[in-house]
Amino acid sequence: MRSHVAAVDAETITLYKLLKWGLAVEVPIVIMMVTSAVVTGSAALVAMAAQSGVALVINGFAVYAMSQVMRENAYNFPYGAGKLENFSAFLCGVLYVPSGLYVLFDSIERLIHAPEVGYLLGLIPVSITFLSGAVLFVFASRLRHRTNNPSPLLISYRADYLIGMLTDGGIIIAFALATVLVDLGEPAIGDRIDPAVALVIALYMLWIGVSLVRHNFRALMDLPLSEEEQLTITRVIGHHYADYDLVGTLYTRSSGTRRFVEVELGFDGEKSVEHVHVLSRHMEKALAEELPGLHFRIVPVWEPDE
């Protein structure tokens, strides 16, 4: 049986295009950063090369993940493919942690034994990545602001673009300051600015990596929605108490930006299927205002007639 392309919202299509542009830009950046790190001997550029390598892997997987999220097949993906979004963000965090640890130890070693760094040459690739990252960050921010229920991918990549932009800006300032210090005859201080910057980048990479792993590891499991969200669902169900006779089990789970809710409701024999359908639509509409991305379903149980 053929799968078909779903009616995808404009925000998802825009995110998909943004990720493809990010992937296309990241390939030459990785080559440029690795080459620059070797030529200049800069620990900060080593950190940037590590970030770029992680970004290339994540962007490649993200493009694949979004292509699956945008396809809807009721037989292959009955609950959507949103878990791929969470896994992509989780993978980003997993790769950031070892990369950050490597840069951390490398920068500490260079602080102790500071090698000479080619700061002026290093400014060229950093300036290029700063400009490209700034453009991608602006587009990601605009998409984030007009989306009520943003994808985990959008959140993680907007954070990644912000990290990259702040990192590049800090390195540009640090390299310019180090160049001045070296020219003034203070190479002992100037050559240690580079590993100091790399140390800060490494600590930030570790913090972001651990945060992404913690948040998205939970989302990868079929855990229930939060207590606050379940209270909201219970309140809406209780508001329609006159339309049913009994409340059974409430099932909740999440997948990417989607929230799934199923509730067992008991009805007497006089209530029709049409009545259940209308009630379900009213409840879903009321819940969607407070819980975007909600998919609501009533599991009806008819009581036998007396």
Predicted confidence (pLDDT) at residue 158 exceeds the cutoff of 50: yes
Query: Phi then psi for 280, rounded to 5 degrees?
Result: -60, -40
Joined tokens for residue 276: 């259940």
Q: What is the pLDDT of residue 257?
A: 63
Structure confidence at residue 39 as a pLDDT band (50, 70, 90): confident
Q: What is the pLDDT of residue 74?
A: 45
Predicted confidence (pLDDT) at residue 303 exceeds the cutoff of 80: no
Q: What is the pLDDT of residue 8?
A: 56
Residue scoring higher pLDDT (113 or 150):
113
Give the mean model confidence (pLDDT) for residues 5-24. 73
The 10s digit of each residue's pLDDT in 162-171 is: 877 877 888 8
In CATH terms, the fold of domain 227-302 is Alpha-Beta Plaits (3.30.70)
Mean per-residue pLDDT of the chain: 78
Q: What is the percent of the chain with per-residue pLDDT over 70, rounded to a whole number? A: 84
Give the mean model confidence (pLDDT) for residues 26-50. 85
The 10s digit of each residue's pLDDT in 107-122 is: 888 888 877 888 888 8
| CATH number for the segment(s) 4-220 | 1.20.1510.10
Residues 6+ apart with CB under 8 A from 100: 50, 202, 203, 204, 205, 206, 209
Joined tokens for residue 128: 């290029």
Listed range (26-35, 49-58, 71-80, 260-269) with the worst mean pLDDT: 71-80
Query: Phi then psi for 74, rounded to 5 degrees?
Result: -65, -20
Residues 6+ apart with CB under 8 A from 287: 232, 233, 236, 261, 294, 296
Total length of the chain? 306
The 10s digit of each residue's pLDDT in 194-217 is: 888 888 888 888 888 888 787 777
Domain boundaries, the chain: 4-220, 227-302
Contacts of residues 152-156 at CB distance under 8 Å and 24 or more positions apart, as own/partner, are 152/85, 152/86, 152/88, 152/89, 152/216, 152/219, 152/256, 152/257, 153/15, 153/19, 153/62, 153/65, 153/66, 153/85, 153/88, 153/89, 154/15, 155/89, 156/88, 156/89, 156/92, 156/212
Predicted confidence (pLDDT) at residue 1 exceeds the cutoff of 50: no
Q: What is the pLDDT of residue 133?
A: 84
